[in-house]
Structure 1
Amino acid sequence: MGSTFPALKNIQKALDAAGVGDRIKAVVPLNSDVYDSATGMPSGGAFRSDIRDLMVQIVRFLHSKGSPFVVNIYPFLSLQQNKHFPVNFAFFDNGGGTISDGGNHYTNVFDANYDTLVWALKNLGFKDMDIIVGEVGWPTNGAPNANTANAKRFYDGFFKKMASNRGTPLRPGPMEVYLFSLIDENMKSILPGNFERHWGLFTYDGKLKFPVDFFGKGNDRFLVGAKGVEYLPSQWCIVNPVVKDLRAMSANMEYACGIGDCTPLSYGGSCNHLRDSIANASYAFNIYFQMQGQDVRACDFQGLATITTKNASRDGCLFPVQIVSAGERITVAFAARLLVAVVVASNVMISWVS
């Protein structure tokens, strides 16, 4: 955080010098953990004591430039990080009851969190500062509450709320909010949690996970997924069923998961229910194999693995096949042209010899 404020000032200074500072603003997207409430209610909102001085500087600077405060609010994280958090309060369908704070009433944590920020800004003397929610969403894998059913419930309520333009008790009216995210990212850091790679409305290969209605009217429809997606051959890397000595399987699985995306195997993940060491290892071997472009050398694991053309997916756990990358497409095209050149050259040589 020590370099954040200087960077903010320098970027805005550059924008001003370029003559666009009046319409292009530098901002600092911040997670909602930069503020809290000593009372547990929005009206107790204040910036965290350990970073309060820095936040005061940032807020004052943003306000002086007419810039908004950009915050990321994730109801899922409220639920994930507190085992005592009321599950239904993370959604917008009024299943979690109502919390009253003075004359204001809250039926979901998103509104309560947003108004906690409003109070934190108000307590610094910036009660009318614009607020933009830079990220909001719900993951679908990698944790007990991260699944498509909860994600659909969240988005159904969220889009209905946005369509109503009712805002929050302290800020009624339209809100500027941005979704996170469009597509899953299987190489993203999982330091915050295994769910980090699964925020997308679409899967890694551009398939919609569930129908949605961005207009909030309950008219579910499937968005158009990615077209023309090319996949590598239909083959999978699994534990070789004829191998009897599996003592090295655990270490090789750990290696595979250190590079490949094994988050669906984690507690609450879509493949956690397999509860079979061989099936788990097969998933790990396969995801590593796929992420290495199906290189046959990536399906060995000290002789423990073998390639199969029988779909290894089982019991609702998808064993994916990787999509063709741009690099692989170029390599294939180059190989094809090289083959043609070799054939032509061979024919010329045969004709010359004859």
Structure 2
Amino acid sequence: MVARGSEVQPSAVRHNTPQNAARRSQRRGAGRLVGLGVGGAALLALLTGCDVGRTFHGFGWPQGGVTPEANKMYSLWIASVIAALAVGVFVWGLIFWCIIRYRKRGEELPVQTRFNMPMEFLYTIAPILVVAVLFYYTAVVQTDVNRVSKNPDVTVEVVAFKWNWQFNYRDGVGPDANTIASTLGTTEVVPVLVLPTNRSIRFEETSKDVIHSFWVPELLFKRDLFPGKIRNVFEVEKLQTEGAWVGRCAELCGTYHSMMNFEVRAVSPEKYDRFLAAKREGKTTQEALEAIGEPPLATTTHPFDTRRDEQNFNKTSAAGVGN
């Protein structure tokens, strides 16, 4: 009969003297104390209420989200990274524990183990549970982020082209809605997209030429704009704070792709209504912004020098070669 059902006694004789047993007991006790100390320190750090994401700069994820959707995605990312680190620390701990605990101590052959049911159960079931939990919360957050309502408070049509933006304020949803005001970017003026706080906002995106990408880091959305009849749609529940944030094209679209910036300006609902009324009266975006007490030009970015002049195209040198 095999002892404990999982151990095969070695042919060599193990010398379990009282001195050796005492030493092993001391080592085990020290190891437990170290493990408890590390675990206690980690638990204390978490219980002190520190913002783990802010402490570690979001683990590479953009911080400062200004919408509920952005905060949900950020929280999911932080929780996923912490779970991954916890699993990693546990595995690393087991590896180093095995290296130290079962290192060679002589010529004696240690107990040979065929299998360990609790351990096999752990490393089979634990990964399934981890993946299932992450999948569940990912599905919940993804559903919330992609949800759109039938009647949003504000609908903006985002039109991209080489290499700028046009923002059309619409009176409804879908391609059949009417544009009641519009902002068009130029080489000299960065387009400013004015939006209200505490109102639901739908973005309907399309492109005039190639694939572009609408990206505002504080919204944590990056949605592609496709040419043709495809309208990429997403919605934010609300902008939680007033402010100005730079937006960019995040899809390589040609020569001046890196210069294709815009600005999102979030204002109070009262200012937004006054801005839209001024636009309907025929004022430019800059005049309408001044009318509500806002800076008329973008404050987070500036027009780029496209260098589209004869020196850029090297006409002088070309003429010299022809002669």
Using the size of structure 2 for normalisation, the TM-score is 0.24
Structure index of larger Rg: 2
Bigger proportion of residues as strand: 2
Which structure is richer in relative contact order (CA contacts within 8 A, separation 6 or more)? 2
TM-score, L = length of structure 1: 0.22
